[in-house]
Amino acid sequence: MTTVPPPAVGIDLGTTFSVVARLDERGQPVTLVNAEGDRVTPSVVLFDGEDVVVGKEALKAIASEAEHVAECSKRDVGHRVFHKVFDGRQFPPEVIEAWILNKLRNDAAQQIGPFGQVVITVPAYFDEVRRKATQDAGYMAGFEVLDIINEPTAAAVAFGFQQGFLDPQGSSTEPNRILVYDLGGGTFDVTVMEIRGTEFTALATDGDVRLGGYDWDQRLVDLVAESFIREHYVDPREDPSTAGKLWRECEDAKRTLSARGKASVACDYRGFSCRAEVSRQQFEEATQDLLDRTRFTTVQALKAAGLAWGDVDRVLLVGGSTRMPMVRNMLRELSGKEPDTSVAADEAVAHGAALRAGLVLARRQDQPATFTIHNVNSHSLGVVGTDPHTGRKRNGILIPRNTPLPVTAKRTFKTRKANQKSILVQIVEGESPSADDCTQIGKCTVRDLPPNLPVQSPVDVLFHYEPNGRLKVHVTVPETDRQVKTEIVRENSLCKEHMDGWRRYICHLEPTDYR
Ligand code: ADP
Ligand code: MG
C-alpha cells in the first residue's frame, strides 16, 4: 500500500491578516480559501462567552463589542500576557495566536483533509523570544511546526520560484540581489538577499516590530477625531466600540486613498455626527514621519549588507501597506528603480512558506533539496558582564547582528570575586552596550566550583547558533573541571504543562497527537 505524502502547507501568521498556502500536485504554491471563501483571514479573535470566534466576524465585532476583541496579538508576542483583559481573563499572546492558527487549520482541512505539519513565518526582525512563542503557538494549535522561517526570505523564495530560479535548468548562476521591503499591518521588515541559482542568502536584515499599516490607520483616526472634537467638543476615541468602528472606517478610507485623491469618513458618537474629508496629501503629511522611519531602516539595512543602490537588482514589495502610493514613490526616489510588484503582496509569504514545507518534507524522505536558505541573525547575542571599573552591567556581545548562520563564537569573561561558588551566565539579545537595555533570553548556572578559586579566573562562554534559531551555550571554567552545556531556557515562555493544557483546550489534542 502506498502512503499519501502529507501536504506541504505554509502559514503566514500576520499581525492583521493571515494566509494559508499549500503546494499542489505539480509543486506550485496555491492559496487556500477559508470557510468564508476569502484568501486572507483577519488575525482577530472574539471572545464571545464560551465561544471563540476568529476572522471576519471577529473583526466586525470591533465596532460593537470592542472589549471582547483581540486584534494585533502578534504585536504583543514576547510579552507574558496580551495587553487587554477579557472578562477578567488575560491570555498569553501566543495562546491568542494559537486560536487563529486553529481556525486556519480547520478551514484548510475542509479542502485538503486533516494535516498536522506546517511551516510558519515570522518577521525577520523577530527576536528569539518571539520566534519561540510563535513555535509554541503552532504547538498549541495542534501542529508539528516543521520550521519557522523569515517572512522576507519566504517572499524571496516565492519570487525566485516565480522567476524560474528553483528550476535547476532555469536557474541562473548570476547573483540577483534583491531588497525585500515588507510593510504589513503591524510590522516592518527589510532584508537584503542574494539569490544565486537555488541558493537564497540573507545579507542583512533590519526592521521594526511595532510599525505597520495600523499606525497609518491611527493617524487617520486622530485626524477625524480632532475634527470631531472641533465641532462637538467630545472625543469619539474615549468609547472603545466607537473607536473600533472609527478605526475600521479609517482603514477602509486608507485603502481608498491608495486609489483616489480623497476619501471621507463618517463618525457618530453621543448623538453627534461628523463627516470628515481627507485628501491624500493631508494623509501623507500626517504619516510622513512613519514613512521616514522605514526609509531610514532601509538605508541602514543596505549599509549593513555592504551594498549601494547600484548593486541592487530589484526592490521587491511585500505586505498590504506597500500599496500606498507614498511607499512606492519614496522607494523609487530612494533607489532610482521602479519597485517590483510582481509577487502578490498578501500571498507571497505564505507561498514561500509552502515551498519551504515541501522542501523539509522532501528531505525527510531523502529527496534532494531544491533550494537552500542561508540566514543571518537579526539581533546581537551576548552575555551580561560587569564592568570592573564602574560596576555597571554590560552586554558582552558574542555574535553581532547580521552574522551568517550557523556560527560558533567564544568569549572569555573573568570571575568577579575570590572563592566564587557558582557563576550565573545571563544571555541577552540586543544592540545596547548596557545590559539593562537588552532582553534577557535565558540563563544557566555553573555550580559547585572548587574552593579557593582566585578572583579573575577565566570563564569561557561558547555560543553555537543554528539557522533554526536554537542557541546552544557551553560554559567552561578552564582551571577547573566544571562545565555546563545547555540549550537555553527562554524567559517568559510557557511551560510544557501549560502548553499541553492549552493544546487540549483549543484543539482537543493530546501532546503526542497530531492531526
Ligand atoms: P500583516 O502580514 O502584518 O498582517 P499584510 O501584509 O496582510 O499585513 O497587510 C495588511 C495591511 O495592509 C493592513 O494595515 C491594511 O490596511 C493594509 N492594506 C491593504 N491593502 C491596502 C491598500 N490598498 N492601501 C493601503 N493599505 C492597504
Ligand atoms: Mg505579513
Can you give the residue ranges of every domain in the chain? Answer: 9-164+344-371+497-507, 213-286, 381-481
Q: Residue 281 pLDDT > 60, yes or no?
A: yes
Q: How far, in Å, CA of 415 to CA of 477, rounded? A: 9
Task: Using pLDDT thresholds of 50, 70 and 90, give the confidence band for residue 4.
Answer: confident
Q: Residue 373 pLDDT > 60, yes or no?
A: yes
User: How confident is the model at residue 2, as a pLDDT?
Assistant: 58
Place of cell 500576520: 14
Task: Using pLDDT thresholds of 50, 70 and 90, give the confidence band for residue 125.
Answer: confident
Would you give the end-to-end CA distance of the chain in angstroms?
21
Q: Residue 63 pLDDT > 70, yes or no?
A: yes
CA angle 208, 158, 358 (to 5 degrees): 110
Phi, psi of 179 (to 5 degrees): -105, 120
Contact 11, 19 (CB under 8 A): yes
Cα-to-centroid distance, 32 and ligand 1 (Å): 19
User: How confident is the model at residue 370, as a pLDDT?
Assistant: 82
Residue 211 vs residue 172, higher pLDDT = 211
Q: Residue 365 pLDDT > 90, yes or no?
A: no
Read off the pLDDT of each residue in 42-63 and give the average, rounded to a whole number.
95
Number of other CB atoms surrounding residue 292 within 10 Å: 11
Task: Using pLDDT thresholds of 50, 70 and 90, give the confidence band for residue 403.
Answer: very high
Cα-to-centroid distance, 213 and ligand 1 (Å): 6
Q: How far, in Å, CA of 34 to CA of 320, rounded? A: 19
Cα-to-centroid distance, 513 and ligand 1 (Å): 35
Instruction: Indicate if ligand 1 lies below 6 Å from the C-beta of 214.
Output: yes
Question: Which of these ranges, 147-151, 267-271, 300-304, 387-391, has the smallest mean pLDDT?
Answer: 387-391
Task: Using pLDDT thresholds of 50, 70 and 90, give the confidence band for residue 464.
Answer: very high
Number of other CB atoms surrounding residue 478 within 10 Å: 12
Contact 41, 56 (CB under 8 A): yes
CA angle 191, 16, 467 (to 5 degrees): 35
Q: Residue 389 pLDDT > 90, yes or no?
A: no
The residues placing their C-beta within 5 Å of ligand 2, an ion, are 14, 184
Instruction: Give long-range contacts, CB 8 A cutoff, 24+ apart: 237-243.
Output: 239/269, 240/66, 240/67, 241/62, 241/63, 241/64, 241/65, 241/66, 241/67, 242/267, 242/268, 242/269, 243/66
Mean pLDDT of the chain: 92
Instruction: Indicate if ligand 1 lies below 6 Å from the C-beta of 42.
Output: no
Contact 301, 335 (CB under 8 A): no
Cα-to-centroid distance, 251 and ligand 1 (Å): 9
Instruction: Indicate if ligand 1 lies below 6 Å from the C-beta of 207.
Output: no
Q: Which ligand is nearest to the CA of 260?
A: 1
Q: Atom 20 (ligand 1): residue with closest C-alpha?
A: 320
> Domain 9-164+344-371+497-507, what architecture?
2-Layer Sandwich (3.30)
Cα distances (angstroms) measured from residue 221 to each of 7, 216, 247? 42, 9, 6
Read off the pLDDT of each residue in 19-23 and give the average, rounded to a whole number.
98
CA dihedral 144, 146, 150, 156 (to 10 degrees): -130
Residue 376 bridge partners (DSSP): 404
Q: Residue 235 pLDDT > 80, yes or no?
A: yes
Instruction: Indicate if ligand 1 lies below 6 Å from the C-beta of 251.
Output: yes
User: How confident is the model at residue 170, as a pLDDT?
Assistant: 59
Read off the pLDDT of each residue in 234-247 and give the average, rounded to a whole number.
96
Q: Residue 469 pLDDT > 80, yes or no?
A: no
User: How confident is the model at residue 491, as a pLDDT?
Assistant: 55
Contact 22, 30 (CB under 8 A): yes
User: How confident is the model at residue 168, as a pLDDT?
Assistant: 65
Cα-to-centroid distance, 121 and ligand 1 (Å): 17
Q: How far, in Å, CA of 50 to CA of 53, rounded? A: 10
CA angle 256, 258, 262 (to 5 degrees): 55
Task: Using pLDDT thresholds of 50, 70 and 90, give the confidence band for residue 69.
Answer: very high
**Grid cell locating 300:** 541602514
Contact 39, 19 (CB under 8 A): yes
Task: Using pLDDT thresholds of 50, 70 and 90, give the confidence band for residue 171.
Answer: low
**What DSSP string runs through 280-326?**
HHHHHHHHHHHHHHHHHHHHHHHHHTT--GGG--EEEEESGGGGSHH
Residue 144 bridge partners (DSSP): 117
> How would you classify residue 37: left for phi > 0, otherwise alpha for psi between -120 and 50, otherwise beta?
left
Question: Which of these ranges, 52-61, 341-350, 438-447, has the smallest mean pLDDT?
Answer: 438-447
Helix 213-232 and helix 240-259, axial crossing angle in degrees, nearest 10: 110
pTM as predicted? 0.91
Read off the pLDDT of each residue in 399-405 and give the average, rounded to a whole number.
94
Q: Which ligand is nearest to the CA of 353?
A: 2
Q: Residue 375 pLDDT > 70, yes or no?
A: yes
User: How confident is the model at residue 72, as a pLDDT?
Assistant: 94
Q: Give the number of the atom of ligand 1 that is nearest the alpha carbon of residue 183.
A: 6
Instruction: Indicate if ligand 1 lies below 6 Å from the C-beta of 212.
Output: yes
Of 295-309, 361-375, 384-398, 428-442, give the range with the top mean pLDDT: 295-309
- Percentage of the chain beyond pLDDT 90 is 73
CATH (residue range 213-286) = 3.90.640.10
Q: Residue 384 pLDDT > 90, yes or no?
A: yes
Q: Give the number of the atom of ligand 1 that is nearest the alpha carbon of residue 16.
A: 4
**Grid cell locating 316:** 521587491
Phi, psi of 112 (to 5 degrees): -115, 5
Cα-to-centroid distance, 73 and ligand 2 (Å): 13
Q: Atom 26 (ligand 1): residue with closest C-alpha?
A: 321
Assigned fold of 381-481: Substrate Binding Domain Of DNAk; Chain A, domain 1 (2.60.34)
Query: What would the pLDDT profile of 7-18 be if each residue is shown by its tens digit?
Result: 999 999 999 999
Cis peptide before 5, with omega less than 30 degrees from 0? no
Mutate to test the pocket of ligand 1, among 77, 321, 322, 327 (most ligand atoms within 8 A of CB): 321
